[in-house]
Structure 1
Amino acid sequence: MTDLDPNRTPVLAAGCVLWRRSTPDGALRLCLVHRPKYDDWSHPKGKLKRGEDPLAGAVREVAEETGYTAVPGAELSTVTYMVRGRPKQVRYWAAEAATGGFTPNKEVDRILWLPPEEARKRLTQFRDRELLDELTAALRLG
């Protein structure tokens, strides 16, 4: 977490650590998105629209970036970091993938459904790995 400059209003965003169970073994799989603009792998997330509820924004962003409907669960950490000299604050939720299917778009050109350890290796940012740990802990607890 990065300290916020009290003189700068943060960019507000929201996203989900999206998961599902594979068939037929029921193993946990996490959805990672590849953003060609940054050439990175991350969890689906994006900026909130003016006045948008953060959870609604997180679900919207998952649908826009992955094509899947998210069924939100536990709220995870809020992550704050700097982008071009301005703080960005992203609220995250654990969310199970329901119906849907991916179609490449200008923001996300690929998604992967990976086991947790493979997802950990693929994620570009350390902060995203911490969210992965939170999700797996939340699913173990219940």
Structure 2
Amino acid sequence: MTQGNDTIVQAAGCVLWRRSPVHGELEICLVHRPKYDDWSHPKGKLKRGEDPLAGAIREVAEETGYTAAPGARLPTMHYLANGRPKQVHYWAAEAISGGFTPNAEVDRILWLPPTAARNRLTQPRDRTLVDALLTALHLA
């Protein structure tokens, strides 16, 4: 990769899911980032030389407080962020343990059924990941 403005920003994240502790239905975790005032899937930039899957799991832990068990690979997203090309690798990941504590990057999370999650997501491109998760879990 070259240095400069044509460098592709490498990032990774997960569509984090669980079975509701109340009714057993699928719920998807969305994070609210006050800096951007948006709702998205947990994700972040990779550290130099970091494996994308390891980075995705690290970002989930940092942003949501949950330990995640990775599952199916989901579509990689490509878009411009601040005028620079960005590539975000995604996986389905089940929340195994943990709990959310607000932090500087993420002040709120929501566990929502798929339709509500799709509607709450700020970026339309993130909605396709909800559909990809349902397909991966054989629920579509």
Corresponding residue for residue 66 of structure 2 = 68
Q: Residue deviations 1:7-63, cap 9 Å, x none?
A: 812000000000000124210000000000000000000000000000000000000
Which runs of 5 or more residues in structure 1 are unaligned?
Answer: 1-6
Q: Which secondary structure does the structure 2 equivalent of 1:135 belong to?
A: helix
1:29-68 equivalent positions in 2, closer than 5 A? 29-68=27-66
Q: Residue deviations 1:64-121, cap 9 Å, x none?
A: 0000001000000000110111101000000000110000001000000000111111
Aligned length: 136
Amino acid across the alignment from 2:138: R
What is the distance in 1 between the residues matched to 2:46 and 2:69?
Answer: 18
What is the distance in 1 between the residues matched to 2:132 and 2:104?
Answer: 29
Query: If the length of structure 1 is used for normalisation, what is the TM-score?
Result: 0.93
Amino acid across the alignment from 2:26: L
Query: If the length of structure 2 is used for normalisation, what is the TM-score?
Result: 0.94
Amino acid across the alignment from 2:45: K
CA RMSD of aligned residues (A): 1.4
Residues 1:105 and 2:91 are matched in the alignment: no
Which runs of 5 or more residues in structure 2 are unaligned?
Answer: none
User: Percent identity over the alignment?
Assistant: 76
**Closer, same or farther in 2 for the Cα pair 1:36/1:24, shift >3 Å?**
closer
